[in-house]
Amino acid sequence: MSPARLIDGKLAAAEFRALVKSGVGELVARGHAAPGLAVVLVGDDPASQVYVKNKDKAAHEVGFHVRTLRMAAATPQRELLAVLDELNRDASVHGILVQLPLPRGLDEGAVVAALDPAKDVDGLSARSVAALWMGASGLVPCTPQGCIHLLERVGVKLEGARAVVIGRSQLVGKPLAALLLARHATVTIAHSRTQDLAAVCREADVLVAAVGKPELVRGAWIKPGAAVIDVGINRLADGRLVGDVAFAEALEVAGCITPVPGGVGPMTIAMLLGNTLLSAARRAAVPERELAPWRGEQPAVR
Ligand code: GUN
């Protein structure tokens, strides 16, 4: 078989950011304030610092007002909740993102629950999760939204497809399963207790790996011609960055595949910008499709 088609997340993200930027221009041209994004980083996890710096930069580039709040790892829970309360009340802030994971001692569930769901641009609040599964309009988590965008952009047929998602996290696996289901795929969520994971994966027309285990998925696990989306970003002892899929092997079998880096990663930030623009559009009572043309893509679960 000829090698798989590469799905270029860098290019897709750049195009999406350009759409967001023009939406911001349109919102401002109609007399509204530019979207405001608050990014909260607690502690000094090196990977989180890089992610937050990239989010801050990308948000500035599309014309958002950005506030990045850095707090000490020892910040007490009540202090963090007080900051979130202030951001919830601040009308110039349309999106709030608390970078995860939080340092030990802070209760992630309570922090997410403290966010105003209308500003929760990660789509993690209970209201957004319910909206996602019920087919109502809420804010959809960024990484799964990015995966769907990439699949649709390269024309992968989801309707009727067998989709296997490895990983059941709140941030990726579970919401991605809902999005695939809404597009009429037959969805399996596999995880660490799944028996014969290789055989389950071999059934997949669409295979998504989101577990954080370097090169877990081997070429022999992939159905010839399948679409493979690799959400993993793993740093090896030798410094190399690899995904959850053994890329060189997969390239020989898959129909199309995302590289790591340069696949799903850049899409997460692009979708965060998209969610923040949507939140600002809703606040300004501007019909969201007039600012966010990609919203035509969102089917309801039926
Ligand atoms: N940590 C890793 N990915 C994410 C994300 O998409 N949002 C937040 N808030 N934290 C993360």
What string of DSSP letters covers 172-239? THHHHHHHHHHTT-EEEEE-TT-TTHHHHHHT-SEEEE-S--TT-B-GGGSPTT-EEEE---EE-TTS
CA of 29 to the centre of ligand 1 (A): 31
Q: Is the CB of 268 under 6 A from ligand 1?
A: yes
**Over 70: is that where the pLDDT of 202 sits?**
yes
Which ligand 1 atom is the nearest neighbour of the CA of 141? 6
Q: Is the CB of 37 under 6 A from ligand 1?
A: no
CA of 142 to the centre of ligand 1 (A): 8
Query: What is the pLDDT averaged over residues 28-50?
Result: 97
**Over 60: is that where the pLDDT of 6 sits?**
yes
Q: Whose CA is nearest to atom 1 of ligand 1?
A: 100
Q: What is the pLDDT of residue 190?
A: 98
Domain with CATH 3.40.50.720 in the chain: 141-264
Q: What is the pLDDT of residue 161?
A: 98
Q: Is the CB of 113 under 6 A from ligand 1?
A: no
Which ligand 1 atom is the nearest neighbour of the CA of 143? 6
In whole angstroms, how far apart are CA 141 and each of 3, 161, 256, 273? 31, 22, 23, 12
Query: What is the pLDDT averaged over residues 252-261?
Result: 98
Q: In which band, very low, low, confident or very high, does the pLDDT at 212 lie, cut at 50, 70 and 90?
A: very high
Query: What is the pLDDT averaged over residues 75-96?
Result: 98
CA of 81 to the centre of ligand 1 (A): 18
Q: Is the CB of 142 under 6 A from ligand 1?
A: yes
- Provide DSSP, the chain: -PPPEE--HHHHHHHHHHHHHHHHHHHHHTTPPPPEEEEEEES--HHHHHHHHHHHHHHHHTT-EEEEEEE-TT--HHHHHHHHHHHHH-TT--EEEE-SSPPTTS-HHHHHHHS-TTTBTT--SHHHHHHHHHT---PPPHHHHHHHHHHHHTT---TT-EEEEE---TTTHHHHHHHHHHTT-EEEEE-TT-TTHHHHHHT-SEEEE-S--TT-B-GGGSPTT-EEEE---EE-TTS-EE-SB-HHHHHTT-SEE--SSSSHHHHHHHHHHHHHHHHHHHHTT--HHHH-GGGGG-PPP-
**Residue of 37, 41, 50, 51 with the most ligand 1 atoms within 8 Å of its CB, for mutation:** 51
195 or 301: which carries more pLDDT confidence? Answer: 195
**Over 70: is that where the pLDDT of 297 sits?**
no
pTM above 0.85, yes or no: yes
**Over 60: is that where the pLDDT of 2 sits?**
yes
Query: What is the pLDDT averaged over residues 246-265?
Result: 98
Please compute, for residue 70, the number of CA atoms within 13 A of its CA located in the half-sphere on the CB side.
11
May I ask the CATH architecture of the domain 31-115?
3-Layer(aba) Sandwich (3.40)
Q: Is the CB of 171 under 6 A from ligand 1?
A: yes
Q: Within a 10 A sphere around the Cβ of 44, how many other Cβ atoms?
A: 11
Q: What is the pLDDT of residue 302?
A: 47
Decide if 203 contacts 164 (C-beta within 8 A). Answer: yes
Q: Is the CB of 97 under 6 A from ligand 1?
A: yes
Which residue, chain included where needed, has tokens 């799903």?
264
Which residue, chain included where needed, has tokens 């969201």?
288
Domain with CATH 3.40.50.10860 in the chain: 31-115
Report percent pLDDT > 70 for the chain: 98
Structure tokens at 295: 């919203």
The topology under which CATH files domain 141-264 is Rossmann fold (3.40.50)
CA 223 to chain centre: 25
Active-site annotation, residues: 55, 99, 122
Please compute, for residue 260, the number of CA atoms within 13 A of its CA located in the half-sphere on the CB side.
24
Mean pLDDT rounded to a whole number for the chain: 96
CA-based nearest residue to 172, from 267, 68, 284: 267
Q: What is the pLDDT of residue 186?
A: 98
Q: Is the CB of 169 under 6 A from ligand 1?
A: no
**Over 80: is that where the pLDDT of 301 sits?**
no
